[in-house]
Amino acid sequence: MMSSSGSYEEASMRIDRTFFALAIAAALLPSAAAFIPSIVEGQVVISEIMYDVASGVGADDTREWIEVFNAGASSVSIVGWKINDGSNHVLSEPPANGGLGSLTIQSGAYAILADDAATFRALYPSVTTVIDTLLDLSNTTDTITLINADGAVVDTVAYTKDQGAAGDGNSLQRSSAAGTALFATGPTPGTGALTSQEGTAATTSPTTSTTSQPPAPVSSYVPPPLPQLFAEAGDDREVIVAADTEFTGFAYNREGTVIETNVRYLWNFGDGSTAEGASVLHHYAYPGRYVVVLSIAENKESAADRFVVSAQPAHISFSALPDGGVSIENDSGKDLDLSYWIIRSFGQSFTLPESTVVLAGETLRIPQKTLKFWSGSSALLQYPNGTTALAAGQQSGEAIVPPASSMHAEAPATAPKLPAEPAWLTVGESSARDETTIPEVDEAPNPPEIVAGAPPETAAVSAASSMPWWLGAFAIATFGAGAAFLARRSAKREWNIIEEGSETV
């Protein structure tokens, strides 16, 4: 049996161990707190975005701003924080660069991060917390991230122009502090209906106490579902009138992944023409500026994108060189892409390869060896679709009419055929030959006409094409002359016949 003195000593040791453990815990508590994520910082959220100011009020590069909201129960210092819109931007402590207020956001209060604090205050003088920072928000799609002084992400929000507020005077606003859904409505910088952890909705500027105000009514607005499909048709561009241009579109989802199947693409080129397909060709008949709209659909989702096309004349000159080559001079003042344009002469053609670019003010010369045929005054420069752009010796703006001689310069596909039975070898209405009666041959049939004043190459082609006719006519005339000679000798019986066994008298 244990003595009373032993029980006392054991209890004393237990008390000492308890106090020792409490002392260690108290010493380690500050260090352990450093590893606990800041719940307060996590309650600061991006609440409103003005990324595309209404058209007609000037450039929006100094009018962009972001609103943040403290949904926590305690105030938060944002000293050393950054805002990222593709690159990090520091927050300038007021009153630097025209800022106002401080870098401490009270619970349930708002603060404005402005691209230009002075410009913002001139537009919204009632807002009392304005922090100057650099912003470069995209007018199409962007992701905005709030980063604390330790480099940790506090909040991030992504948007696209399809959600609204694209140059119509509205801004994108958060529907709740807990969610990331955005909806377009009139801008409310420094105020709003978001609720803090204390259960109040902040509807005043940051310097006004929110605890003394009654709770704001809960909004009944239900934001529309976020779009899941997006269209990309490209940027504004310049094209050449009458030249085919390739238009290519893409479809992608919210994660930025390109969708390659089960998507329908419909193009409206703004000139009354439409086409369907992810990649299509189109050309404009007249100069001007056209709005091109790409509409896409996948199952029940749809989206659209648009851009502006400026159709300009080519401003080029086309000439045939004396050595059989051609030259194309770029007079447009900018580089021209002549990929797949066609050079045609004497029924033969040469297609310029892909990525054939003629620099502004320069001349492209193509030798006869490359063309693999001899060019001449009848040479034509054609668009990729086969429409004639210029004839040799012409420049843009002139009437595109080939020279008159070119109508006779093209070599015929086949040589002229002789009649099966020449008319001057027939007698009367009958087509049967009379072996004993040969009419007089006055002259051979006329050769194909050679146009007066035609260039040497035209005469050469005409002479070459008439050669079979002349040879045929010469052979027939020779045959007729021989037949006539034999007929006359037979009529006069001028043959010397020696019979066997006859004697000389």
Q: What is the DSSP string of 15-49?
A: HHHHHHHHHHHHHHHHHHHTTS--TTGGGEEEEEE
pLDDT at residue 209, as a whole number: 41
Nearest to 221 by CA among 187, 192, 188, 183: 183
Report residue 468 as tokens. Answer: 């079979």
CB of 384 closer than 8 Å to CB of 244: yes
Residue showing tokens 């056209």: 290
CATH number of the domain at 316-403, out of 2.40.50.140, 2.60.40.1260, 1.10.760.10, 3.40.50.720? 2.60.40.1260
Say how far apart CA 324 and CA 273 lie, in whole Å.
Answer: 40
User: For residue 444, how many other CB atoms are within 10 A of its CB?
Assistant: 15
Q: For 230-312, which CATH superfamily applies?
A: Immunoglobulins (2.60.40.10)
Q: Check residue 60 and report its DSSP letter.
A: S
pLDDT at residue 94, as a whole number: 93
Say how far apart CA 297 and CA 64 lie, in whole Å.
Answer: 32
CA distances from 442 to 150, 289, 303, 394, 438 (A): 112, 69, 82, 48, 12
Strands laid side by side in the 88-90 sheet: 88-90, 82-84, 141-147, 153-160
CA quadruple 317, 318, 320, 324: dihedral positive or negative? positive
Cα within 13 Å of Cα(66), Cβ side: 29
Give the residue extent of every domain in the chain: 41-185, 230-312, 316-403, 423-491
Residue showing tokens 């297609």: 351
Say how far apart CA 2 and CA 23 lie, in whole Å.
Answer: 31
* Verdict on whether the full-model pTM lies above 0.75: no
Q: Check residue 418 and report its DSSP letter.
A: P
Express each pLDDT in 438-484 by its tens digit. 444 444 444 444 444 444 444 444 444 445 555 666 666 666 666 65
Cα 187 from chain centre:
33
User: Residues of 269-296 as b/e, b for ≥16 C-beta within 10 angstroms?
Assistant: bbbeeeeeebebebbbeeeeebebbbbb
Could you tell me whether strands 394-395 and 153-160 are parallel, antiparallel, or unpaired per DSSP bridges?
Answer: unpaired
CA quadruple 146, 147, 149, 154: dihedral positive or negative? positive
pLDDT at residue 505, as a whole number: 36
Q: For 41-185, which CATH superfamily applies?
A: Lamin Tail domain (2.60.40.1260)
Could you tell me whether strands 301-312 and 237-240 are parallel, antiparallel, or unpaired per DSSP bridges?
Answer: parallel
Could you tell me whether strands 388-391 and 380-382 are parallel, antiparallel, or unpaired per DSSP bridges?
Answer: antiparallel
Identical topology for domains 41-185 and 230-312: yes
Express each pLDDT in 353-412 by its tens digit. 988 999 989 999 999 999 999 988 889 999 888 888 889 988 776 544 444 433 333 444
pLDDT in tens, the chain (505 residues): 445 555 556 656 666 666 666 666 555 544 444 344 444 455 899 999 999 886 555 556 688 999 999 988 899 999 999 998 888 889 999 999 899 999 999 988 999 999 999 989 988 999 999 999 988 888 888 999 999 988 888 999 999 988 888 888 899 999 888 888 888 988 999 988 887 765 555 544 444 444 445 555 665 656 667 778 889 998 888 888 888 888 999 999 877 889 988 899 999 999 999 999 999 999 998 999 999 999 999 888 899 999 999 998 878 999 999 999 999 999 888 888 888 899 999 889 999 998 899 998 999 999 999 999 998 888 999 988 888 888 998 877 654 444 443 333 344 444 444 444 444 433 444 444 444 444 444 444 444 444 444 444 444 444 444 455 556 666 666 666 666 565 555 554 544 444 444 444 3
Say how far apart CA 154 and CA 412 lie, in whole Å.
Answer: 80
Kindly report the backbone phi and psi dihedral angles of residue 470, in degrees, each rounded to the nearest multiple of 5, phi listed first: -65, -40
CA distances from 343 to 30, 37, 283, 321 (A): 83, 72, 19, 13
pLDDT at residue 482, as a whole number: 66
